[in-house]
């Protein structure tokens, strides 16, 4: 089955700097890759997603890139702000139509 | 904006007891899901449900678990004979169409098994 690896587990960046979180997946048939943001004690909320027919997608300060050949995808957050502090999860929909999640990255924005 | 709702927010039960977790998906959504998140760990897929039947289920979703849509609005997860390791946050989610569509999550039910 699908295996999603996510790195780093913790990322600390200065406010205003960029943050990059990387994920790899194993199932070459996976074709949908969402990113969720989860604040402490809250529900996961979709922040951006990408489908396998697209290499990059951007929404204001957030962008996602996908390399199907290498089977990895990344989340980029520019001009980070204190409210970006949260745990971020990547996920991949595998050939069994299940959404398999990464282990999460705790993003800390330092003032 | 419509949201997925879940009740209760926190459920405490004794080991061996049965619990039912309830969800009300977004009204025009057709696909429903349950996920589990053990404290500090990743979100794990349990089951997806469409057209009144299970579409997919993970290895976690064994005979101890069942899902039901008893009426036009509720979607329930039943856990029989709970174990200590069932303690987790359980999230319900729904999407308008298939799994590739955006899934909207409920606030979760924290289940504590004593």
DSSP string of B24-74?
E--TT--EEEEEEE-TTS-EEEEEEEETTEEEEE-TT--TTEEEE--SSS-
The answer to whether B99 touches A93, Cβ cutoff 8 Å, is yes
Check residue A98 and give its pLDDT: 84
Q: Which residue has the tokens 């402490």?
A: A40
- Alpha-carbon distance of B27 to B29, in angstroms, equals 6
- Interface contact B102-A49, CB threshold 8 A: yes
Check residue B100 and give its pLDDT: 66
Q: Pick from A43, A96, A99: which is nearest to B108 by CB?
A: A43
Q: Which stretches of chain B score pLDDT less than 50?
A: none
- Alpha-carbon distance of B19 to B78, in angstroms, equals 6
Average pLDDT over residues A13-41: 95
Q: Pick from B42, B43, B56: which is nearest to A96 by CB?
A: B56
Q: Which residue of A has its CA nearest to B90?
A: A43
Q: Please, which pLDDT band fits residue A41 given cuts at 50, 70 and 90?
A: confident
Tell whether the model's pLDDT for residue A68 goes beyond 70: yes
Q: Please, which pLDDT band fits residue A96 given cuts at 50, 70 and 90?
A: confident
Q: Please indicate if any CB of chain A lies within 8 Å of the CB of B38.
A: no
- B91 CB neighbours in chain A (<8 A) are 43-44
What is the average pLDDT value for chain A, to the nearest integer?
Answer: 94
Check residue B99 and give its pLDDT: 60
Least confident of A1-15, A47-61, B95-109: B95-109
- The string over B26-51, giving b where at least 16 C-beta atoms fall within 10 Å of a residue's C-beta and e elsewhere, is beebebbbbbbbeeeebbbbbbbbbe
Tell whether the model's pLDDT for residue A4 goes beyond 90: yes
Q: Please indicate if any CB of chain B lies within 8 Å of the CB of A101.
A: yes
Average pLDDT over residues A48-61: 92
Check residue A6 and give its pLDDT: 97
């Amino acid at each position: 089955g699908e295996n999603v690896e996510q790195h780093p587990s913790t990322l600390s960046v200065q406010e205003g700097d960029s943050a990059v979180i990387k994920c790899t997946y194993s199932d070459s048939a996976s074709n949908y890759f969402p990113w969720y943001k989860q604040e402490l004690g809250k529900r996961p909320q979709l922040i951006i997603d990408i489908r396998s027919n697209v290499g990059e997608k951007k929404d204001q300060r957030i962008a996602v890139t996908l390399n199907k050949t290498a089977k990895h995808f990344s989340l980029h957050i520019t001009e980070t702000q204190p409210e970006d502090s949260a745990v971020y999860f990547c996920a991949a929909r595998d050939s069994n139509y299940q959404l398999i999640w990464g282990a999460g990255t705790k993003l800390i924005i330092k003032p | 904006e419509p949201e997925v709702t879940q009740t209760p927010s926190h459920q405490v039960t004794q080991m061996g007891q049965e619990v039912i977790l309830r969800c009300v998906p977004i009204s025009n959504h057709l696909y429903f899901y349950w996920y589990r998140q053990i404290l500090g760990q990743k979100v794990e897929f349990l089951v997806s449900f469409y057209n009144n039947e299970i579409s997919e289920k993970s290895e976690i979703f064994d005979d101890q678990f069942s899902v039901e849509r008893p009426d036009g609005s509720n979607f329930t997860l039943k856990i029989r004979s709970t174990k200590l390791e069932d303690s987790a946050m359980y999230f319900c989610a729904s999407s308008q169409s298939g799994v590739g569509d955006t899934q909207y999550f409920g606030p979760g039910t924290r289940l504590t098994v004593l």
